[in-house]
Each structure stands twice: as C-alpha cells, then as structure tokens.
Structure 1
Amino acid sequence: MSLSRRRFLQTAAAVPLAGSWPRLATAEISLGSATLTTVSDGSLMLPGSFIFEPMPKDELAPILMDYGISDERLTPECNLALYRDGTNTVLFDVGSGPDFMPTAGTILDSLDAAGRAPEDITHVVFTHAHPDHIWGLLDEFDEPLFPDATYMMGRDEWNYWWDPDTVDTIGDARAAFAVGARRRMEVIEDSVQLFDDGQEILPGISAVPTPGHTPGHMSFEVRNESDSALVIGDAIGNHHVAFRKPGWISGSDQDGDMAAATRKVLFDRIMSEQMRIVGFHLPRGGLGRVDKGAEGYVFVPGDT
C-alpha cells in the first residue's frame, strides 16, 4: 500500500509523541466467521451535570458511590465498532477528530494497533451525528479520512442535521453540534447512502431504530451465521445510571422521555435474546453483555 501524503504527515507528526500515546482500549469477539472489534477514539471529559442534572440527587448519590463515579467530572471511553466479514470492513462512526476534545481523536492510532489503515475501511455507518461520532469524518485537508469508504446514515438522522432550522432549535449549548455536523455532511452529500428503520443495510447488518438521544439515532444488529451482537451507539450511554435506572431522564439526550422509553425497549430485547452489545461509551472497550441486577441491569464487559 502506498503511503499517502496524509499518512506521511500523520506518521511524521506522531514520532516525538510515541512514548506518550494513550492506552488504546480494545475488545474483540467472533461472530460466526466474522470478527467484531472495538477500536478506541480516546475518551471525553464532561461535567457530571451533562448527564446528571435532571436526576433526583438523593437517589443518584448512592448509585454513583456504588460505581465510584464523581458527580462533578466524567471521563467516558469512546469505542468504535469495527466489523470484518472477509468481504466488508465496516466502521461504525468515525470519532471526534482533532477539534472536539484533546483527550479524543485517537482513531488512527487505534486502527494502526489493530493492523488496519483508513484505506481498508469499505463502509462507515453512523449511529448519529453528535461531535464524538462524526467530527472525525475529515482529515487535516478537509477531505474524508476514509477515502475509499461508502458512507451510510439513517434517513431521519440525516434530515434532522441537514435541516437549516436545526441550529436555531437545538439550543445554544448544542448549536455548535449542528454547525459541525452540517459542515462534515456537506462533504459526503453527493455520495452518502441513506437507509430506513429496519433495513438490512449490508449483508448481516440491520438498522434498529433507537431514537431519543438524537431524533434519528440508530443501533445495528450484526449477525453472522448463528451469532449476533447489537451495536448500540449512545442509546445506552453509560454503564452506571443508564443500567441501574434506565427510565431516568439523562441530560445527555436531546429528547429525554423518548430516550428513556427506548432504553427500556432495548434492555428488554437484549435480555430476551441474550445479545452481546457494543456501547460507544461503555468501559473496557465497550463490548460485553447485560445481566439482571438486584436493581436494574449490570454491564459485564468481556467476550463471553
């Protein structure tokens, strides 16, 4: 494979920092003859209020204590799912890029560690268009980071962020989200493939509507032979309160009531079908299963 100008500059720029790269959390399972891996885009730094503001503080405190979580500062992982079936190499979301937070945007290093280059990605499938999921679309030349990929997004999600009124209706705190999403979507406007709820978008990959976090948020059932897993994006956004109290409204969701209803339905399906999951902000690589807890549910990371 030839070394592109982009890859040369990235490699040269990284040499002085080689000893200080962050640990790249990964996890991997086999799905029949295919492989589902998570690759890290680093982590976020968020005020606790971003999630906890609408929640009952007296009930919240003991839950956070159980998990050793601060109510002031959160540092969730960012885990992108990478699916390889021998024909397609599918990346779910593209991470933050360099312009969102200094602790995120490590996807190229993580792909390198997994033995993959941007040119290997055949398809990029978006769960939604928040900054940590789509701002990594462009490289430093404002060209698509994954030059040979087909880009795919749910029709409702695309239409929401493409609407020029969204920047005025999303609220001041998220207005930059809308501007940033639209700028990146304009680059792929003529080539993006849109899909609808329930559609099989690629062999073995079906869209599962999970709205609320954003209006068109989508999860994906990935199935190969008799094995399956669910890539859930931010539909279940953390391993603590979202699992213990899925009906609570989270400040991170654009439509809190809808997101809470979605979580309940999603947990019911995961439990009834005993599906493994990949969560974008879940710990230890984000891949694992769900158990019933004494109260609510428990995330069990790992490949079992």
Structure 2
Amino acid sequence: MQFTRRVILRSAAAALAAAGLPHRLWAANTLTMGGVTLDTLSDGHLVLPRDFILGGLPEAELAPILDRYGITGDALMPPCNVTLLRDGTNTVLFDVGSGPDFQPTAGKLGDALAALGLTPEDVTHVVFTHAHPDHLWGLLDEFDEPVFANATHMIGKAEWDYWMDPATVDSIGTSRTAFAVGARRRLEAMQDRIATFGDGEEILPGIASRLSPGHTPGHMAFELRSGSESVMVVGDAIGNHHVGFERPLWKSGSDQDPDMAAPTRAALLDQIATGQMRLIGFHLPEGGLGRAEKTADGYRFVPEV
C-alpha cells in the first residue's frame, strides 16, 4: 500500500490569478491498494451551530475534550470529504457533496474533480452513504439536470425507502423538513436510473456495503478491499474527530436516531481499530483518511499525513 498526502490542489490557478480572484485550495489524500487508487476530494465545509452536534452533552466532561482539540465558539466548521475510487475500469464517487443549494461554503466538488483532471462525465458510478443534503444535493445542477449523467447511481434500499416515504416529511421534525423535501425531489428525479442494494452486498468489485444505521435509518458504510488491504468509508456514522472518537456512546444531535447511532458508532470503531483498518470519514480533518487507535476510555483519530 502506498500513501501520499497532497497538501493543496490548485484549480485553474493562472486563470484565477489573471482574473484577480483568489486561488481555490483543496486538501486531498491519495492512497493506492494494488490496482485501486483512492482520493479524498474536498467539497468545502459546513457551518453548523455548536449545539447541533454537542448540545445536551455533559459540560464538565465535554470541556476538556474540546480544549484538547482547540474547539471554541458557537459554530463548528466540519470539512466535507468526498471519496473517489479508480480501479482502471470504474471511477466511483462515494456521495456527491452539497451542490449549489445548501451552504455557500460547500458545493465545490466539481472544482476538486477538475484539479485532478476529471470531469463529471468521467464518473461511472455514484454510491451514496445516505441522503442528507451535504451528501446528496450535488446530484442535480442549477437546472435540475443530473450532474453525473453517465454514471450508475446506487443507494441502500432502506435509505431509499425512508426518503421516498411520503410520511417522512411529517415525522422527521421541523428542523429537518427541508432535508426530507430536498432528498425526495432529487431522488424522484433519478428514480429511473438509480439502483438499490442491501446490507453485506458486494455492489461493485471490491466494494461491500455495511449497514450502519442511526445517523439516518439506512445509512451505509463501505468496505473497500484489494487483496489483504482494506479501507472503510464511514460516511457520517462517525461524524467528527473529537467527541465521536473519544466518547462514541455519547448521543449527538446530528444523528436522526441518537439512541441507535451511538452503539453503531462504537461497534464500527471497534471493528476498525481491532482490524487495524484505515478509514475515511466525510467530516474528519486532514482529508478524512486515517486510523482509529484504542485508548483507555475511547478512541483517537490518527490522520494519515
């Protein structure tokens, strides 16, 4: 296995400079496993209220954890890392980012692909971990046309059923009503070209689905394997590098079902740490690629840098 860290990628730097615009920078990782190349590409970042993730947690125990990671203020700005897999035949994206309609700090995936010399037309498969806006809304462009027009789109059956259920918009809670409306509109637009799958299926060569519910009802992680080497794409089942690792059984407001998400997160971390696997997290720092190390009372995220 070979690993390299690309600190920045510059897209059309000369043109931007000529126009008097700032360079756009993306952190990215590249990992090779046999004939498979994995890249993590930045879709930008989100700006979230602190309490959306950390609200309701025990302050006395939370404070020293946040201090260790330098987390202050009333807002968190998690990065958004999209995973790209290329095996010589398939070019696979895991999630598609926010697109133009969610937050102005996100929706940069097209530029990140261009920095690698790729276009959306080069993508053969799009595989979703789940259907939250920062993972799904990049599915359509400003004119509601498919961005990845040549790709086969794939999503877990449980996740598809949940967002396509007309009752979801009324049961999801008022703070997430827009999530439900936006997901169903986009999935309906793609329903003739999207395939579903179940837990434990090899959806493409070397890519196996792993049901990891709680963040959403049908959230999927994916085990990517080449020979004896493997990487787990965890999506939002492990949503941050601080509390999510140090106290995986604490409940997070970012999860739709915190009671289910917490044991899912703990079990996934145990599997990754015990198996000494690498993982890629959508909202983890340094491009999202790293390892989970067991500590006395939790885990620690060790980025690959």
Q: Which moved more, 1:152-161 or 1:134-143?
A: 134-143
**Residue in 2 aligned with 1:4?**
none
Deviation at 1:75, TM superposition (A): 0.5
Q: Aligned match of 1:177 in 153, 176, 179?
A: 179
CA–CA distance in 2 between the matches of 1:188 and 1:78? Answer: 23
CA–CA distance in 2 between the matches of 1:101 and 1:219? Answer: 24
Count of matched residue pairs: 291
CA–CA distance in 1 between the matches of 2:201 and 2:231? Answer: 16
**Residue in 1 aligned with 2:127?**
125
1:1-304 superposed matches below 5 A: 19-70=21-72, 72-302=74-304
CA–CA distance in 2 between the matches of 1:300 and 1:236? Answer: 14
Unaligned runs of 5+ in 2: 1-11
Check whether the contact 1:52–1:71 (CA below 8 A) recurs between aligned residues.
no
RMSD across aligned positions (CA): 1.5
Deviation at 1:18, TM superposition (A): 7.2
Q: Which moved more, 1:20-29 or 1:52-61?
A: 20-29
Deviation at 1:139, TM superposition (A): 1.1
Structure ranking higher on relative contact order (CA contacts 8 Å, 6+ apart): 1
Deviation readout 1:164-193 (Å, 9 max, x if unpaired): 110000000000000000110011111211
CA–CA distance in 2 between the matches of 1:112 and 1:251? Answer: 35
Which amino acid letter does the alignment assign opposite residue 130 of structure 1? H
- Going from structure 1 to structure 2, the CA distance change for 1:27 and 1:17 (only over 3 Å counts) comes to farther
CA–CA distance in 2 between the matches of 1:139 and 1:27? Answer: 26
CA–CA distance in 2 between the matches of 1:146 and 1:174? Answer: 26
Which amino acid letter does the alignment assign opposite residue 77 of structure 1? P
CA–CA distance in 2 between the matches of 1:258 and 1:54? Answer: 17
CA–CA distance in 1 between the matches of 2:73 and 2:170? Answer: 30
CA–CA distance in 1 between the matches of 2:184 and 2:19? Answer: 32
Check whether the contact 1:32–1:226 (CA below 8 A) recurs between aligned residues.
no
Check whether the contact 1:232–1:280 (CA below 8 A) recurs between aligned residues.
yes
Which amino acid letter does the alignment assign opposite residue 281 of structure 1? H
Check whether the contact 1:41–1:80 (CA below 8 A) recurs between aligned residues.
yes
Deviation at 1:71, TM superposition (A): 5.0
Q: What TM-score does the superposition give when structure 1 sets the normalisation length?
A: 0.93
Q: What TM-score does the superposition give when structure 2 sets the normalisation length?
A: 0.92
- The percent of aligned pairs where both chains have the same amino acid is 61
- Going from structure 1 to structure 2, the CA distance change for 1:84 and 1:240 (only over 3 Å counts) comes to same
Deviation at 1:295, TM superposition (A): 3.5
Report the 3-state secondary structure (helix = DSSP H, G, I; strand = E; otherwise coil) of the residue aligned with 2:26. coil
Check whether the contact 2:273–2:291 (CA below 8 A) recurs between aligned residues.
no
CA–CA distance in 1 between the matches of 2:221 and 2:23? Answer: 30
Report the 3-state secondary structure (helix = DSSP H, G, I; strand = E; otherwise coil) of the residue aligned with 2:302. strand
Q: Which moved more, 1:55-64 or 1:143-152?
A: 55-64
- Going from structure 1 to structure 2, the CA distance change for 1:200 and 1:18 (only over 3 Å counts) comes to farther
Which amino acid letter does the alignment assign opposite residue 111 of structure 2? D
Deviation readout 1:11-43 (Å, 9 max, x if unpaired): 9xx968773243211111111111111011000
**Residue in 2 aligned with 1:7?**
none
Which amino acid letter does the alignment assign opposite residue 64 of structure 2? P
